[in-house]
Amino acid sequence: MIGGGPAGYTAAIRGAEYGLKVALIDSSPKLGGTCLHVGCIPTKTLLFNAEIWDHLKHAAEYGITGIGAPALDWSAVLTRKNAIIAKHVKGLEFLMKKHKIAVFSGFGRLTGPANGGVHTVDVDANGAKSTVKAKHVIVATGSEAKLLPGLKADATILTNVEVLSLDAPPKSLVVIGAGAVGVEFASIFRSFGTEVTILEFLPRVVPLEDEEISKELARVFRKRGIDVNTGAKVEKVEKTDGGVRVSYIDANGKAQVKEAEKVLVAVGRAGRTENIGLEKTKVELERGLIKVGEAQETAEPGVFAIGDIVAGLPQLAHVGAMSGMVAMAKIAGRKYRPVRRERIPSCTYTEPQIGSVGLTEAQAKEKGYEVKVGKFPFAGNSKATIVGSHDGFVKIVADAKYGEVLGVHIIGPQATEMIAEAVAVMELEGTVEEMMFAIHAHPTLSEAMLDGYAAVEGIAINA
């Protein structure tokens, strides 16, 4: 295994569970990859801090008084985030030992095709060289942030790495790119009082989501005081005495300038495919990412690829982990189900949260389905009132002919938790009628799902 992020370490553990002898090579001394160190875990930690902070702003409304004006101790926020990361690194070290996985610290590089059915991977640990031999090699080297041409990350021009260890929340921040990473940081820093501007090149924020979800997020973000600009083409990013000046062409073709203390570049992620020996193999690339088959196998016999480095799959930790489990099952000769793109939940942990799976309304129509849609707003859900979070809705996209659920799109409280039900429904090819009679506990946010399914037939109870 080359790479010990969520894709690599999950595959390594599963391989050991299948009784295989596994070696895991990582160039970082601490396992966990992007997800644990500069991705999922630290961002969700800060988002939880932001959520508590937002609640404290309304403490009196919840009958909590006498706490005075709450103050933010940013260094304590960072200490907690770092402690969570450290705890999970220890957890991974424990799991590697438990499963007797041989961990190599160093940069792994394939030497070429297998020789007599055995592959060789060179490991370079700061000049100290060793080799690992194996029948199968899984490449899981992950990805890193793309920057705009001519830019270099530093204390002012930030990627997901630098932004996670700022001394203090910036007074103002321009976020370039409104995919999940961009909007999550916009949400975090807005909660902590930063003046946030979003510049997105495409016509809508979270452009991969259903159009109505994008509209709702933009509406709530604007309500929260975030300056959301879509159709904005960034032309230049220049340093100034106080920070940065970002020049862009707005959606009306007008030249605009935005000054801020910092800029976060969140325009996508490039696969780490360079310098790992792929050129000496038959492994095929597609726009810098590795092409794989249903079992994550590449065009080079015995070489598999999983996680962010794979072409055609979303760059998400759970996709990496599952693709690793699929590859290992194939290698061990066990049963597996290929990763299916339309069954992958997509979660954005902003305020409000987004959870979605399956086809958007537009995609379902494009595919030729006769589509029926049900939409239920959280404004009609009693638990949403209790938790004080009424923005958003549940949207169900169904096939009119057989009632099969084709897609579920949620924006609102706990959307990232609620989407798990929809994944199960879709995995089991459930129908709207079946779900209309699936009992959901009261009072729960999940009841909004029940009303959403009923809304497909125009008979939601609470709307």
Ligand X SMILES: Cc1cc2nc3c(=O)[nH]c(=O)nc-3n(C[C@H](O)[C@H](O)[C@H](O)COP(=O)(O)OP(=O)(O)OC[C@H]3O[C@@H](n4cnc5c(N)ncnc54)[C@H](O)[C@@H]3O)c2cc1C
Under rule CB under 6 A, how many of the chain's residues touch ligand X? Answer: 35
Rounded to the nearest 10°, the torsion over CA 387, 355, 43, 240 is -100
From residue 273 to residue 292, what is the string marking binding to ligand X with x (rule CB under 6 A)?
---x----------------
HSE of 60, CA atoms in CB hemisphere, 13 A = 5
Closer of 286 and 370 to ligand X (Cβ): 286
Residue 60, burial from CB neighbour count under 10 angstroms (0-12, 13-18, 19+): exposed
Closer of 89 and 379 to ligand X (Cβ): 89
Q: Which stretch binds ligand X (CB under 6 A): 27-35, 111-119, 186-194, 290-298?
A: 27-35
Contact pick of 318, 330, 383, 395 for ligand X (by CB under 6 A)? 318
Mind spelling out the 3-state secondary structure of 48-79? HHHHHHHHHHCHHHHCCCCCCCCCCCHHHHHH
Rounded to the nearest 10°, the torsion over CA 329, 332, 334, 339 is 20
Element (H or E) spanning 345, and its range? Answer: none
**What six digits make up the tokens of 202?**
């495409």
Q: Rounded to the nearest whole angstrom, what is the least distance from the CB of residue 450 to ligand X in the complex? A: 27
Decide if residue 3 touches ligand X (CB under 6 A): yes
Contact pick of 173, 181, 326, 422 for ligand X (by CB under 6 A)? 181
Closer of 318 and 330 to ligand X (Cβ): 318
Q: Which stretch binds ligand X (CB under 6 A): 2-10, 77-85, 171-179, 253-261?
A: 2-10
Decide if residue 191 touches ligand X (CB under 6 A): no
Contact pick of 14, 22, 23, 26 for ligand X (by CB under 6 A)? 26
Contact pick of 218, 265, 313, 317 for ligand X (by CB under 6 A)? 317
Q: Rounded to the nearest whole angstrom, what is the least distance from the CB of residue 188 to ligand X in the complex? A: 10
Closer of 307 and 412 to ligand X (Cβ): 307
| DSSP class per residue in 167-200 | SS--SEEEEE--SHHHHHHHHHHHHTT-EEEEE-
Q: How far apart are CA 138 and CA 136, in angstroms?
A: 7
Contact pick of 14, 15, 43, 396 for ligand X (by CB under 6 A)? 43
**Active site (catalytic) residues:** 442
In the block, tokens 């991705």 appear at 39
**What six digits make up the tokens of 276?**
């790992």
Closer of 175 and 397 to ligand X (Cβ): 175
94-153 binders of ligand X (CB under 6 A): 107-108, 140-143
Decide if residue 25 touches ligand X (CB under 6 A): yes
Decide if residue 160 touches ligand X (CB under 6 A): yes
Q: Which residues have C-beta within 8 Å of that of residue 49, sequence separation ≥ 6?
A: 77, 80, 188
Question: Three-class SS of residue 377?
Answer: strand
Closer of 140 and 456 to ligand X (Cβ): 140
**What six digits make up the tokens of 429?**
């090819």
Q: How far apart are CA 78 and CA 49, in angstroms?
A: 10
Closest C-alpha to 7, from 321, 344, 328: 321
Q: Which stretch binds ligand X (CB under 6 A): 6-14, 61-69, 72-80, 237-245?
A: 6-14
**Do 141 and 273 contact (CB within 8 A), yes or no?**
yes
Closer of 27 and 298 to ligand X (Cβ): 27
H helices of 228-381, where?
A: 317-332, 361-366
Q: How far apart are CA 399 and CA 405, in angstroms?
A: 7
Decide if residue 35 touches ligand X (CB under 6 A): yes
Q: Rounded to the nearest whole angstrom, what is the least distance from the CB of residue 380 to ligand X in the complex? A: 29
Q: Rounded to the nearest whole angstrom, what is the least distance from the CB of residue 186 to ligand X in the complex? A: 12
Decide if residue 172 touches ligand X (CB under 6 A): no
Closest C-alpha to 195, from 164, 226, 230: 226
221-260 binders of ligand X (CB under 6 A): none
Decide if residue 320 touches ligand X (CB under 6 A): yes
Question: Three-class SS of residue 235?
Answer: strand
**What six digits make up the tokens of 90?**
């220890």
Closer of 23 and 181 to ligand X (Cβ): 181
Distances (CA, A) of 390 to 190, 211, 213, 351, 380: 19, 20, 15, 12, 8
Q: Rounded to the nearest whole angstrom, what is the least distance from the CB of residue 219 to ligand X in the complex? A: 23
Closer of 317 and 463 to ligand X (Cβ): 317
Find residue 394's DSSP bridge partners.
Answer: 376, 410
Q: How far apart are CA 234 and CA 242, in angstroms?
A: 20
Decide if residue 261 touches ligand X (CB under 6 A): no
Q: Rounded to the nearest whole angstrom, what is the least distance from the CB of residue 40 to ligand X in the complex? A: 4
Decide if residue 39 touches ligand X (CB under 6 A): yes
Q: Rounded to the nearest whole angstrom, what is the least distance from the CB of residue 454 to ligand X in the complex? A: 31
Binding footprint of ligand X on the chain (CB under 6 A): 2-8, 25-28, 33-35, 39-40, 43-44, 107-108, 140-143, 160, 181, 272, 276, 307-308, 315-318, 320
